[in-house]
Structure 1
Amino acid sequence: MSHLTDIEIARAARAKPIQDIGASLGIPPEHLLPYGHDKAKVDQGFITSLSDRPNGKLILVTAINPTPAGEGKTTTTVGLGDGLSRIGKKAAICIREASLGPNFGMKGGAAGGGHAQVIPMEDMNLHFTGDFHAITSAHNLLSAMIDNHIYWGNELEIDERRVVWRRVLDMNDRALRDVVTSLGGVANGFPRQTGFDITVASEVMAILCLASDLQDLQRRLGDMIVAYRRDRSPIYARDLKADGAMTVLLKDAMQPNLVQTLEHTPAFVHGGPFANIAHGCNSVIATTTALKLADYVVTEAGFGADLGAEKFMNIKCRKAGLSPDCVVLVATIRAMKMNGGVAKADLGAENVSAVESGCANLGRHIENLKSFGVPVVVGINHFTGDTEAEIAAVQAYVAGQGAEAVVCCHWAEGSRGITDLATRVAALADSGQAQFAPLYGDEMPLFDKIDCIAKRIYRADEVLAPTAIRDQLRAWEEAGYGHLPICMAKTQYSFSTDPNLRGAPTGHSLPVREVRLSAGAGFVVAICGDIMTMPGLPRVPSAEKIMLNDAGAVTGLF
């Protein structure tokens, strides 16, 4: 068992030159745009040339609802990619980029952990190749152009009370959730109330992750609704002539980033929408590129399967024409105990009965995932304190659900600790069992789509939505947006909108507080409960522990 921190393990690794990683996938060096020695972007021209190739197998890694005990979804994604490589498969992984907000807050980075990490870990968890900065800049350029248009006479007749385009920042900063701009007199414009969201919640982020190429990107950016006139008619980004300049800012960010795991499995790390307030999947262009270059592609969807996997299936797969061949559902014994009512301080003691009662959360996720027509295997992310009796209890429960639970020791042992799961996953992906279908059809009315997710995934009794929200959804249908899928924004900690309601709750309602039309990304966001689109920092943020040591190396990142 390693006693080193994640960042110490990552720093001790010997990375191969990124050209060697590209060569293992058949990417010629002239089609890699290097950022230093260990990361590169893949050229769009090369990606276009792959279109006639067959796709490899697509494996989704998702998880139970997150608990303070930690589940290790990204760690398992990385470990599984290495495990597939170890058993002789040509594998690649696709994950999201890290947001600075959670890095300096409470959640930490997005590079995996232990001996199942993507490197360079520090770069990935900090500025990486500048994609998030480009997204932030493009988003805020549009914000500036809206206010500038109003200042110079407002030819489009924008109703200043109905500007729906907020600003973004890639940091958790609660002070910016609700602000007033343009104070200070005539020269500074017309005062109005607005606010900031975190960059990963931006529609520009969602668009970058769903666009197929630069032309599609510009079209989607132009389709974004930024404000309304007094007669409620929409103003689009292209009306402000912002779509071209935004595309220029995103030109390089649109190209996927190639890095490697500790064991040199190729890793595409691109895009990073949050799963509790956006659609929670890495970019379509990275996933589709990986599928052309590898026989098995392991990707993840953010937070629990009720959010990330549901959006992966109903939004990403629907939009990109993808079809998963197998799903891995990550769980830990510790999380089962927490779902069974054990306090975090008491997780070290064996408690088989708590594990058994906590398995209800796991069982509901298995059932939900199977409803998409895709075979499911449970990966038990092993912790040293897990006892044989506790593991046996989970395996017996999962067997009763018609699935298999496989113990994985990749955090401590790297790929050799996850070969059992890799073998099982490869067999399931090759079996042809998958009969994938989204949960609802395009033609279903928008409110009914919300209702469908609420009842079939969350097991809510009803959706509570005021008349104004139902009227808004009907108006969007009449405007031609009724075919869009729904992107639910709700707490990741529970099937319900109450973060404290663990397990598999029933008898709850889903309150929809607000709906937002993301016409460019191509979905309608339903904001439920007390979800925030700009998180705050905790009482003791991780930023307090992040610093440079005497050797000039970063410490404190995790």
Structure 2
Amino acid sequence: MTDVKSDIEIARAANKQPIREVAAKLGIAEEHLVPYGHDKAKITAEFIRSLEGRPDGKLILVTAVNPTPAGEGKTTTTVGLGDGLNRIGKRAAVCIREASLGPCFGVKGGAAGGGYAQVIPMEDMNLHFTGDFHAITSAHNLLAALLDNHIYWGNEQKIDTRRVVWRRVLDMNDRSLRQIVTSLGGVPNGYPRESGFDITVASEVMAILCLARDLKDLEERLGRIVIATRVDKTPVFARDIKADGAMAVLLKDAMQPNLVQTLENNPAFVHGGPFANIAHGCNSVVATTTALKLADYVVTEAGFGADLGAEKFFDIKCRKAGLTPDACVIVATVRSMKMNGGVAKEDLGREDVAAVTRGCANLGRHIENIGQFGVPVLVAINHFGTDTDAEIDAVKAYAAAMGAEAVLCRHWAQGSAGIEELAHKVAALADSGTAKFAPLYPDAMPLAEKIETIVKRIYRGAAVTMDKSVVDQLAQFAAQGYADLPVCMAKTQYSFSTDPSLRGAPDGHVVHVREVRLSAGAGFVVAICGEIMTMPGLPRSPSAERIHLNMQGYIEGLF
């Protein structure tokens, strides 16, 4: 039996092209690149502005069933499909998110794909990359520092220090920072108060960068961030303490999308990275819209399962950016269907067609849900070596009964050659003109009803419960002029419910909203449900324990 190479070994052996050659495939001249070494570059804002008026290519969303410990391979499929479309003669580009250091050193790993369907340079992408996340962290924490400094020097805005809502961020899982007390040590250090840290990918600054159209829009959105409440209960904005200009300066370079390549030297835009369970989970609008002007087909992804990622992609990103998706691919695996059907992870290697069929209820629910947005669907069965023909046929039969074709894909092992069939079918579906996209709810619907609509139509819950404080907060948001904003649901990614152990396709459950937060700059209201944390912790055995440099100075253990 031959040894299977790890993702990082495959990436390290790749035959990379100079980034100028990759850019040339999309018609980007070298003078419009800001190179970061030989294999990655940012695209200038001036060039992006020059693309206005060009027609858009076809937009294809890749989403997935609810994630399981068995792994589904959504990013791998996104990258593989982009390579597959190029293989069959289409001009295609991939748009994915940047990786957070938290999952890289925690349990989930990186965000560059896997096997022979990866974006490279894999090590750079999963670590510091071009510094975008560091810039976002700095801009966010600059606002926190300016806020505390404003209070220290006389508090001209009459901020109620008990009602400061702007916390600090760090791009690392660190549970000890969830709740802290700042400014201890006496008068020179300010006024002590409770605060805390979120992970950078949960920052509103991250969401703003990913939804802003250009630098002007970015600065205006930064100025609209609500950071505290005055003694008279009116909101205090970042612009009130003159923070927006300096924050925009820190984000000037980060606003430019990053261009890299796949293992097969096809163009990939990797930009931004909001979490999908506590934020909106999509790469930047500027990267997606730029790619649509340069490629005939753009393959992008939304985080976690379709109940979180796809819903937010449609209801937040597409609504705000005016995007109209042409097709959707739902990634599923035989292994994940078994787990949804009740099989333990250690038993996944044994054939169990009945469990696969039971678990397909989860896939079926996602197919139905995507249909509610008017977007046509294909199912990609991401192949694993333990899959049997009978199990694969069961998934295909179930999807067919739901009105969606399922296609077996072997891109992890074979690259673009293993996903040609899906590429042909996706291109045909995107070109068919059958998409009739519409968001799930109108802007004018009250905020509480928007939450209830998502819970009942997407999660299939029976009811939504909220404490009086949450109801009052939503009413206050509406009174302040935010009633038209979409809702960003923050809940577990593992289930349609708020109970991560409830797999399959549960219905009739009750969803409790324990907190709501206003992201006025990003342009949505966050509804926090269940036990979701905005600062994750590390597992008992984090990946960081196995990441190291070998004797040759190469990174080992990163995946």
Q: SS of the counterpart of 2:277?
A: coil
Instruction: State the distance in 2 between where 1:524 and 1:89 align.
Output: 39
Whether 1:521 and 2:522 are equivalent positions in the alignment is yes
Q: Which residue identity is paired with 1:376?
A: V
Q: Which amino acid aligns with 1:135?
A: I
For 1:266 and 1:444, the matched residues in 2 are separated by 40
Which amino acid counterpart does residue 337 of structure 2 have in structure 1?
M
Task: Give the aligned partner of residue 258 of structure 1.
Answer: 259
In the alignment, the residues of structure 2 paired with residue 496 and residue 246 of structure 1 have an alpha-carbon distance, to the nearest angstrom, of: 37
Counterpart-to-counterpart distance in 2, 1:468 and 1:199: 27
Unaligned runs of 5+ in 2: none
Q: In the alignment, what sits opposite 2:11?
A: 10
User: What does residue range 198-213 of structure 1 map to in structure 2 within 5 Å?
Assistant: 198-213=199-214
Q: Note the 1:19-58 alignment, pairs <5 A.
A: 19-58=20-59
The answer to whether the Cα contact below 8 Å between 1:94 and 1:267 also exists between their aligned partners in 2 is: yes
Partner of 1:188: 189
Render the CA deviation track for 1:363-387: whole Å, top value 9, x for unaligned.
Answer: 0000000110000000000001100
- For 2:480 and 2:188, locate their aligned partners in 1 and report how far apart those are by CA, in whole Å: 37
Deviations 1:257-298 (A, max 9, x none): 000000011000000000000000000000000000000000
Supply the distance in 2 between the matched residues of 1:332 and 1:458 (Cα, whole angstroms): 21
1:499 is matched with which residue?
500
Q: Secondary structure at the match of 2:159?
A: coil
Question: 1:288 matched to which residue of 2?
Answer: 289
What is the rounded CA distance, in whole Å, between the counterparts of 1:454 and 1:399 in structure 2?
26
Does residue 397 of structure 1 match 2:398? Answer: yes
Match of 2:122 in 1: 121
Q: TM-score with structure 2 length normalisation?
A: 0.99
Q: 1:93-112, aligned counterparts within 5 Å? A: 93-112=94-113
Match of 1:153 in 2: 154
DSSP-derived class of the 1:306 partner: coil
The letter for the 1-side match of 2:312 is K
**Partner in structure 1 of residue 322 of structure 2:** 321
Counterpart for residue 231 of structure 2 = 230
Give the 3-state SS of the residue equivalent to 2:228 in structure 1: strand
**SS class of match (1:305):** coil
CA distance in 2, matches of 1:200, 1:436: 28
| Match status 1:168 vs 2:177 | no
Distance 1:515 1:507 in 2: 23
Cα distance, 1:468 vs. partner? Answer: 1.6
Q: Gaps (5+ residues) in structure 1?
A: none
Deviations 1:439-459 (A, max 9, x none): 000000000000000000000
Distance (Å, rounded) in 2 between the aligned partners of 1:144 and 1:432 = 51
The alignment partner of 2:311 has SS state of helix
The answer as to whether partners of 1:515 and 1:525 remain within 8 angstroms in 2 is yes
How far apart are the structure 2 equivalents of 1:229 and 1:498?
Answer: 37
Separation in 1, partners of 2:297, 2:111? 21
Q: What's the TM-score once normalised by structure 1's chain length? A: 1.00
Paired letter, 1:70: G
Q: Deviations over 1:239-273 (max 9, x none)?
A: 01000000000000000000000001100000000
Q: CA deviation at 1:472?
A: 1.1
Distance 2:476 2:184 in 1: 34
Taking the aligned partners of 2:454 and 2:335, their CA distance within structure 1 comes to 28
Partner SS, residue 283 of structure 2: coil
Query: Are the aligned partners of 1:488 and 1:527 in contact in 2 as well (CA < 8 Å)?
Result: yes
Per the alignment, residue 141 of structure 1 pairs with 142
Distance in 2 separating the partners of 1:112 and 1:75: 4
Contact kept, 8 Å, 1:492 with 1:499, in 2: the verdict is yes
1:520-539 matched pairs, under 5 angstroms: 520-539=521-540
Distance apart, 1:467 and its partner CA: 1.6
Distance in structure 1 (CA, Å) of the matches to 2:356 and 2:379: 15
Q: Deviations over 1:155-197 (max 9, x none)?
A: 1111100000000000000000000000000000000000000
Contact 1:380–1:407 (Cα < 8 Å) also in 2: yes
One-letter amino acid of the counterpart of residue 539, structure 1: R
Q: In the TM superposition, what is the alpha-carbon distance from 1:479 to its structure 2 partner? A: 1.1
Q: Distance in 1 between matches of 2:39 and 2:78?
A: 20
Structure-2 residue corresponding to 1:359:
360
In the alignment, which residue of structure 2 is the partner of 1:245?
A: 246
1:524-546 per-residue CA deviation (whole Å, 9 max, x = no partner) reads 00000110000000000000111
For residues 52 and 548 of structure 2, the distance between their equivalents in structure 1, rounded to whole angstroms, comes to 44
Which residue identity lines up with residue 121 of structure 2 in the other structure? Answer: P
- Could you say what secondary structure the match of 1:92 adopts? strand
1:70 is matched with 71
Could you tell me how far apart the structure 1 residues matched to 2:385 and 2:514 are? 42
Q: What amino acid is the match of 1:202?
A: S
Kindly provide the amino acid, as one letter, of the partner of residue 557 in structure 1. L
CA offset digits 1:284-328 (Å, max 9, x no partner): 000000000000000000000000000000000000000100000
Give how far 1:507 is off: 1.6
Does residue 302 of structure 1 match 2:303?
yes
| Distance in 2 separating the partners of 1:134 and 1:449 | 33
- Partner of 1:406: helix, strand, or coil? strand
Deviations 1:80-115 (A, max 9, x none): 000000000000000000000000000000000000
The question of whether the paired residues in 2 share the 8 Å contact of 1:465 and 1:511 is answered with yes
**1:72 deviation in Å?**
0.2
Separation (CA, whole Å) in 2 of partners of 1:185 and 1:427: 68
Quote the Cα distance in structure 2 between the aligned partners of 1:316 and 1:86: 29
- Aligned residues of 1:102 and 1:109 also touching (Cα < 8 A): yes
Equivalent residue number for residue 420 of structure 1: 421
Q: Secondary structure at the match of 1:368?
A: helix
Q: Deviations over 1:325-351 (max 9, x none)?
A: 000000000000000000000000000
Task: Determine the C-alpha separation between the residues in 1 that align with 2:341 and 2:418.
Answer: 27
Give how far 1:29 is off: 0.2
CA distance in 1, matches of 2:203, 2:520: 12
Do the aligned residues in 2 keep the contact of 1:546 with 1:555 (CA within 8 Å)? Answer: yes
Match of 2:279 in 1: 278
What CA distance in whole angstroms lies between the structure 1 residues aligned with 2:558 and 2:248?
Answer: 32
- Name the structure 2 match of 1:267: 268
What amino acid is the match of 1:428? L
**Could you say which residue in structure 2 is the equivalent of 1:458?**
459
Shift of the alpha carbon at 1:2?
Answer: 6.7
Structure 1 residues 424-481: Cα deviation after superposition (integer angstroms, max 9, x where no partner): 0000000000000000000000000000000000000000111221111111111110
| Structure 2: distance between partners of 1:190 and 1:477 | 32
Distance (whole Å) between structure 1 residues aligned to residue 230 and residue 190 of structure 2: 18
The 1-side partners of 2:231 and 2:449 are apart by: 29
Q: Write the letter of the residue equivalent to 1:149.
A: H
Q: In the alignment, residue 385 of structure 2 is paired with which amino acid?
A: T
| Equivalent position amino acid for 1:191 in 2 | P
Shift, 1:230, TM fit: 1.6
Post-superposition, which runs of at least 4 consecutive aligned residues in structure 1 deviate over 4 A?
none
SS of residue paired to 1:103: helix
After superposition, the CA RMSD in angstroms is 0.6
| Secondary structure at the counterpart of residue 444 of structure 2 | coil
Identity %: 75
Q: Secondary structure at the match of 2:119?
A: strand
Give SS of 2:67's match: coil
8 Å Cα contact 1:2/1:412 also seen in 2 = no
Q: For each residue in 1:186-219, what CA deviation from the matched residue of structure 2 results, as whole angstroms up to 9, or x when unmatched?
A: 0000000000000000000000000000000000
CA distance in 2 between counterparts of 1:479 and 1:227 reads 14
